[in-house]
C-alpha cells in the first residue's frame, strides 16, 4: 500500500472519528451551570429538570442558605469564576439581581459559554451596548428569559398586531396594577455568616445590609434594580414593544411618579408612568400602580395594542376587537407575519434546543430584544430622575442637548474587582 493511500485512509479515519465524537457530544445532554438559586433560578431549575436536552452540572449562589435547594449530586459554590472554569459547563443560566446581570453575562461569554440570562439583562443603557458588542464578538448563543416571548397567547397576539388584523398599530401599552408589598426590614443589620456579602454587592460597592434585600427587596432600590418597571411591568413592557414590532429605540421619553403611601421602603417609584415616542410618531406607554386601583377591562398586569380599526388586549388572549363597539369582523386574507424563534413549551427547552442545534435563529428572545427592553427601562429612569421630558438620538446612543442626562447612561463607577471586562 502506498504512503499516499495510507495517509488518505488515516485522514478519513480522523474525520470519521471527529464526526463520531461530535455526534456523541450532541447526543449527550447539554451541561448547564445555574448562577443564582433564588426564586427565578428555581423556576428555571424546574424547567431544566424536565428538559431532555440539558442537565444541571453545577450551581452557584453567594447565599449559602439557598444551597439546600440544589438537586442531589450537585454541590453549589459561591465562586462564579470556578463555575465558569468547569469544563463540564457548556452553557449557563444567569438568574441574579439586575446590578449583576451584565457583569455575569460578560464573564460567561468571555469563558466561552452559551448564555440564558434573566431580564432585565442590564442595569444601565451602556451595559446593554457592551453586551451586544461582546455577544457578537464571542459567536455564542445568548437568549433572554422573557417568558412572554414563549407564551402562545402573546406570540399569537404579536402575529395579529404585526399582520394588521386591527389595522396599523399606533400605540402599545403595558400596565402593572399589582399591590406593592414591602419585603425590606425596618432596620439594617449585620449580614449573616452564610452570605458572601461583598460578592452579593458586586459592582455597586458598599451597601448597608438588610435581610429583605435577599427576598426581592433589592429591586426597589435604584442602585440595584428599577422597581416595578423592572419587575412586575417587565414582561408587559417587552410584549408592548413586540406588539409595535422592530427593535427601535425611542426618540423621546418622559417619565413621572414617586413613592406614595405610608412607611414604604426603597427609593424607586411604586406609582410610575412612562411614555416613549418612536421616530414614526407611534408611542408606547407604561403605567405602574402599586396602590389600590381598579383593573382595566379585566387586565391588571399585561399588554395592549391599539390599531387604526380596533384593539388587542392580553385580558382575553389578544383576541381582536374591531370597530368602535369591538364587534366588527376581522379582515380575511391578510399575510401572516412569521415570528422569530421556534416557540416551544418553555424558555429553558427553547434555549437548550437552540444551543444543541447551533441555531441562534431558533431562540425565542434574542439578546437584542432583551437589551432594548432593558434600555427602555433605563431611559425612563433617567427622565424620572431629572424630572423632565428628554429627546434621544438612537443613532448616536445619547440624549439631545442634555449632557446631564448623558452622564446617567452608564453607572458612575464600579466597585474594585467588579468592573465590566474589556
Other CB atoms within a 10 A radius of the CB of residue 223 amount to 16
Give the residue-averaged pLDDT of 228-238: 97
Alpha-carbon span 144 to 94, nearest angstrom: 10
Residue 5 banded pLDDT, cuts 50, 70, 90: very low
Give the model's pLDDT for residue 38.
95
Closest CA to 286 of 175, 155, 125, 191: 175
For cell 419587575, the residue is 231
Q: How many CB atoms lie within 10 A of CB 348?
A: 26
Half-sphere exposure of 200 (CA within 13 A, CB side): 21
Partner residues linked to 299 by β-bridges: 296
Cell of 309: 380599526
- Per-residue model confidence as pLDDT tens digits over 48-91: 999 999 999 999 999 999 999 999 999 999 999 999 999 999 99
> How is residue 77 written as a grid cell?
459554590
Residue 223 has pLDDT above 70, yes or no: yes
**% of the chain with per-residue pLDDT over 70:** 92
Band (387; pLDDT cuts 50, 70, 90): very high
Residue 26 has a pLDDT of 59
Contacts for 403 with CB less than 8 Å, ≥ 6 apart:
none
At 215, is the pLDDT very low, low, confident or very high (cuts 50, 70, 90)?
Answer: confident
| CATH of segment(s) 3-147 | 3.40.50.720
Instruction: Label residue 14 by pLDDT band (50, 70, 90).
Output: low
What is the sign, positive or negative, of the torsion defined by CA atoms of 19, 24, 25, 26?
Answer: positive
Q: How many helices (H) and strands (E) in the chain?
A: 11, 14
| The predicted structure's pLDDT at residue 344 | 85
Task: Count CA atoms within 13 Å of residue 235 on its CB side.
Answer: 16
149-335+367-406 CATH choice from 3.30.360.10, 3.40.50.720, 3.50.50.60, 2.40.70.10 = 3.30.360.10
Given this model, what pLDDT does residue 333 score? 80
For the segment 171-183, the average pLDDT, to the nearest whole number, is 88
Query: Taking residues 14-22, what's their average pLDDT?
Result: 47
Residue ranges of domains in the chain? 3-147, 149-335+367-406
Report pLDDT for 2. Answer: 45
Asked if pLDDT for residue 109 goes beyond 70, the answer is yes
Is the model's pLDDT at 186 over the cut of 70? no
- Total Cβ atoms within 10 A of residue 141: 23
Q: What value does the mean pLDDT of the chain take? A: 92
Q: Quote the CA–CA distance of 322 and 307 in Å, as a whole number.
A: 9
302 strand-pairing partners: 175
C-alpha–C-alpha distance, residues 115 and 3, integer Å: 46
pLDDT band per the 50, 70, 90 thresholds, residue 28: confident
pLDDT score at 184: 65
User: Above 70 in pLDDT, residue 260?
Assistant: yes
Mean pLDDT of 248-277: 92
pLDDT of residue 20: 38
Instruction: Please tell me the predicted confidence (pLDDT) of residue 410.
Output: 98
Q: Is the pLDDT of residue 212 over 90?
A: no
Confidence of residue 183 (pLDDT cuts 50, 70, 90): low
pLDDT of residue 330: 81
113-140 mean pLDDT: 98
Q: How many CA atoms lie within 13 A of 64 on its CB side?
A: 7
Distances in whole angstroms, Cα of residue 137 to Cα of each of 8, 130, 132, 140, 174? 36, 11, 9, 8, 33
Amino acid at each position: 500500500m502506498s504512503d499516499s493511500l495510507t495517509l488518505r485512509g488515516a485522514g478519513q479515519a480522523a474525520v470519521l472519528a471527529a464526526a463520531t465524537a461530535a455526534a456523541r457530544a450532541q447526543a449527550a445532554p447539554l451541561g448547564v451551570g445555574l448562577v443564582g438559586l433564588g426564586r427565578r433560578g428555581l423556576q428555571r431549575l424546574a424547567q431544566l429538570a424536565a428538559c431532555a436536552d440539558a442537565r444541571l452540572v453545577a450551581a452557584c449562589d453567594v447565599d449559602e442558605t439557598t444551597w439546600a435547594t440544589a438537586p442531589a449530586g450537585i454541590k453549589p459554590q459561591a465562586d462564579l469564576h470556578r463555575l465558569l472554569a468547569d469544563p463540564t459547563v457548556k452553557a449557563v443560566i444567569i438568574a441574579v439581581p439586575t446590578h449583576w446581570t451584565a457583569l455575569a453575562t460578560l464573564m460567561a461569554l468571555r469563558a466561552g459559554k452559551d448564555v440564558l440570562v434573566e431580564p432585565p439583562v442590564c442595569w444601565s443603557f451602556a451595559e446593554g451596548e457592551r453586551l451586544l458588542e461582546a455577544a457578537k464578538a464571542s459567536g455564542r448563543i445568548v437568549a433572554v428569559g422573557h417568558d412572554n416571548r414563549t407564551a402562545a397567547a402573546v406570540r399569537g397576539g404579536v402575529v395579529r398586531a404585526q399582520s394588521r388584523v386591527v389595522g396599523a398599530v399606533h400605540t402599545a401599552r403595558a400596565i402593572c396594577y399589582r399591590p406593592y408589598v414591602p419585603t425590606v426590614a425596618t432596620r439594617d443589620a449585620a449580614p449573616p455568616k452564610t452570605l458572601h456579602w461583598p460578592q452579593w454587592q458586586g459592582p455597586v460597592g458598599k451597601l448597608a445590609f438588610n435581610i429583605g434585600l435577599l427576598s426581592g427587596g433589592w429591586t426597589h432600590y435604584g442602585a440595584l434594580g428599577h422597581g416595578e418597571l423592572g419587575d412586575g411591568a417587565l414582561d408587559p413592557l417587552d410584549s408592548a414593544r413586540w406588539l409595535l414590532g422592530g427593535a427601535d429605540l425611542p426618540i423621546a421619553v418622559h417619565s413621572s411618579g414617586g413613592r406614595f403611601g405610608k412607611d414604604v421602603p426603597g427609593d424607586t417609584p411604586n406609582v410610575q408612568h412612562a411614555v416613549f415616542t418612536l421616530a414614526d410618531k407611534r408611542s408606547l406607554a407604561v403605567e405602574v400602580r402599586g396602590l389600590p386601583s381598579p383593573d382595566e377591562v379585566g387586565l391588571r398586569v399585561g399588554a395592549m395594542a391599539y390599531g387604526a380599526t380596533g384593539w388587542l388586549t392580553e385580558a382575553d388572549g389578544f383576541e381582536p376587537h374591531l370597530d368602535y363597539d369591538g364587534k366588527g369582523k376581522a379582515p380575511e386574507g391578510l399575510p401572516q407575519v412569521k415570528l422569530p424563534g421556534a416557540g416551544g413549551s418553555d424558555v429553558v427547552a427553547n434555549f437548550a434546543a437552540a444551543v444543541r442545534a447551533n441555531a441562534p435563529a431558533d431562540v425565542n428572545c434574542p439578546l437584542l430584544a432583551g437589551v432594548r427592553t432593558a434600555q427602555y427601562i433605563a431611559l425612563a429612569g433617567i427622565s424620572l430622575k431629572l424630572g423632565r421630558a428628554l429627546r434621544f438620538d438612537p443613532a448616536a446612543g445619547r440624549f439631545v442637548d442634555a449632557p446631564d442626562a448623558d452622564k446617567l447612561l452608564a453607572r458612575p463607577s464600579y466597585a474594585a474587582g467588579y468592573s465590566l471586562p474589556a
